[in-house]
Amino acid sequence: MTNERDFPERPRRPGISVAIVILAAGRSSRMSPDIGHKLLAKFDGIPLVRRVALRATESKAEHVYAVTGFRHEDIEDCLASLDVTVAFNPAFASGMASSLVAGLKIPGVMDHDGALILLADMPAITVENLDRLITTFERSEGRSIIRASHAGTPGNPVILPKALYPQALTLQGDRGAKALIDTSDLDILEVEIGEAAVIDVDTREDLQRQGGVSSSMR
């Protein structure tokens, strides 16, 4: 494993491209029933899923894709008017792996050198965070796994290089990108992005701590 700051500066190889795949299909099962779907909760007046997607579209990624599942119509309404290609995963209840696979299978995704897997429940992620990950991937010439971290703790998002796509398509159940990273022999570059790498919204307490407000959409 290599830290980003230990990685030698190399010129970007022309043509390296990164797609962002937003995973927004989960059931929000750990959230209190009276709160509703966490991705519809509002941060600064914007539904969380739209907030995350906006930052993705403002990044240097070539294109942004999103996978929906639970409450997909409501989620897709939140993404309306954004430059995001949306795909519905009918098998979303089987676990995160099905959504990751569905995301990679969206036409065009696997044409990119890397896929940045972005969880839709990460309110602290910024455009700068995403761009830093993408820049590190470019410097690796598209050959390394890029993983956000905070104070030495691995987090999200991650960028999977094209070399891992075939393995990613075999994932099943609730095994996400971490399962691939843990077993891969590719170089892993850790990119320190601060607490944003480890902040997500799973519970009522998480929502309140991050300043979110539950939506009236239930």
**pTM for the whole thing?**
0.89
pLDDT tens digits, 139-190: 999 999 999 999 999 999 999 999 999 999 999 887 778 878 988 999 999 9
Q: What angle do CA 35, 65, 104 make, to 5 degrees?
A: 110
Distance linking the first and last C-alpha atoms of the chain:
43
**Which stretch of DSSP H or E encloses residue 154?**
strand 153-161
Phi–psi pair at 40, nearest 5 degrees: -95, -10
For residue range 82-117, list pLDDT tens digits in order.
999 999 999 999 989 999 999 999 999 999 999 999
Which class is 16-209 in CATH?
alpha beta
Instruction: Count the Cβ atoms, other than its own, within 10 Å of residue 74.
Output: 18
